[in-house]
């Protein structure tokens, strides 16, 4: 029996769908938080309320894996070697030292070094991926093909990362390598029908999870969905501050987008069950 750390939430489903939530966590261990300049800044870039947005997924028979550890501690969706997933573009690393907006998380000279990064990887990164690989293997043993759906969100406007307002739905398939085109097309049609903007393999082509585990030849089809937060949260027009961010989650406001997301996960299941 694989061990489940107390900070890891796992729901074991029987359907051919695994929903990964690597960035919804906001917990920061005391020994790490004491090194950081601002508790709020250290949580600002979380995928706020994505776990609530997709809380219907278990009812569809999906397996769900979610870490409660904040990405500031260690980002389980980054290459563990430290290599950038987006060479030449602004991004954050395995153990981020700045926010999406470029604000420092640590005082100069206090950033985590190689030994500290190694400890965080051993404590948090490796157990997350051990459980993810275990669940993929379990599901693959039951089904000829499965879908790994990596659920994310991000503020709609972050000039340091991208120009203008991000499309509502950002589909990442590692430029078509991580999943079958039929699945991509099915999701694109649902996004288009929603009336919201969408793009495939634009600014976000999929992180480490999508790129590392997606292997259509072996029956594992991985896709990342990066949502612009405005579709389910009332994003402030001005830059985020402790007073205005994160915006409260309103189920009624989120309901239309949530309905489209349910259709998308149902399409994932239909794809996986189709010979």
What are the domain boundaries of the chain? 8-273
**Considering the chain, what percentage of its residues have pLDDT values greater than 70?**
100
Backbone angles phi, psi at 263, to 5 degrees: -60, -35
pLDDT digits 0-9 by tens, 186-211: 999 999 999 999 999 999 999 999 99
pLDDT at 75: 98
Cα 12–chain centre separation = 19
The residues, any chain, with a CB within 8 Å of residue 139's CB and separated by 6 or more, are 16, 17, 18, 63, 146
Tell me the pLDDT band of 84, cut-offs 50, 70 and 90: confident
pLDDT higher than threshold 80 for residue 1: no
Q: What is the mean pLDDT of residues 49-57?
A: 98
The HSE-up count of residue 205 (CA atoms within 13 Å, CB side) is 15
Find out whether 201 and 173 touch, Cβ atoms under 8 Å.
Answer: yes
Find out whether 132 and 213 touch, Cβ atoms under 8 Å.
Answer: yes
pLDDT at 82: 83
pLDDT at 85: 83
DSSP string computed for 187-227: HHHHHHHTTS-EEESSS----HHHHHH-BGGGTEEEEEEEE
Per the prediction, the chain carries an average pLDDT of 96
pLDDT digits 0-9 by tens, 114-144: 999 999 999 999 999 999 999 999 999 999 9
CA dist 105 and 115 (Å) reads 18
pLDDT higher than threshold 90 for residue 88: no
Q: In what order do the strands lie in the sheet with 17-21?
A: 8-11, 63-67, 17-21, 146-154, 220-228, 169-172, 198-200
pLDDT higher than threshold 90 for residue 83: no
pLDDT at 144: 97
- Look at strands 8-11 and 146-154 and give their pairing: unpaired
pLDDT at 156: 98
pLDDT higher than threshold 80 for residue 258: yes
Nearest to 70 by CA among 113, 91, 99: 99
Nearest to 148 by CA among 232, 253, 219: 219
Find out whether 192 and 271 touch, Cβ atoms under 8 Å.
Answer: no
Tell me the pLDDT band of 153, cut-offs 50, 70 and 90: very high
The residues, any chain, with a CB within 8 Å of residue 86's CB and separated by 6 or more, are none
CATH of region 8-273, choose from 3.50.50.60, 3.40.640.10, 3.40.630.40, 3.30.1490.100: 3.40.630.40
Q: What is the CA radius of gyration of the chain?
A: 18
Find out whether 210 and 147 touch, Cβ atoms under 8 Å.
Answer: no
């Amino acid at each position: 029996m694989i061990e489940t750390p107390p900070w890891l939430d796992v729901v074991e489903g029987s359907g051919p769908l695994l929903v990964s939530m690597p960035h919804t966590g906001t917990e920061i261990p005391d020994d790490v938080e004491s090194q950081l300049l601002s508790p709020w800044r250290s949580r600002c870039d979380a995928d706020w309320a994505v776990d609530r947005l997709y809380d219907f997924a278990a009812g569809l028979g999906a397996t769900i894996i979610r870490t409660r550890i904040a990405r500031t501690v260690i980002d389980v969706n980054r290459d563990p070697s430290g290599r950038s997933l987006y060479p030449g573009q602004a991004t954050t690393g395995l153990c981020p030292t700045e926010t999406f907006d470029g604000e420092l998380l640590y005082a100069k000279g206090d950033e985590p070094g190689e030994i500290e990064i190694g400890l965080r990887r051993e404590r948090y990164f490796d157990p997350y991926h051990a459980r993810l690989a275990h669940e993929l293997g379990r599901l693959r043993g039951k089904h000829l093909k499965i879908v790994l759906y990596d659920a994310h969100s991000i503020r709609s406007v972050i000039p340091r990362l991208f120009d203008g307002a991000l499309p509502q739905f950002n589909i990442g398939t590692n430029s078509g390598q991580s999943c079958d085109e039929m699945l991509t097309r099915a999701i694109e049609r649902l996004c288009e029908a929603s009336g919201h903007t969408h793009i495939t393999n634009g600014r976000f082509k999929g992180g480490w999870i999508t790129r590392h585990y997606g292997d259509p030849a072996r029956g594992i089809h991985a896709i990342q969905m990066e949502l612009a937060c405005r579709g389910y949260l009332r994003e402030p027009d001005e830059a985020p501050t402790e007073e205005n961010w994160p915006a409260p989650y309103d189920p009624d406001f989120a309901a239309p987008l949530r309905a489209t997301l349910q259709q998308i996960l149902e399409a994932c299941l239909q794809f996986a069950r189709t010979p």
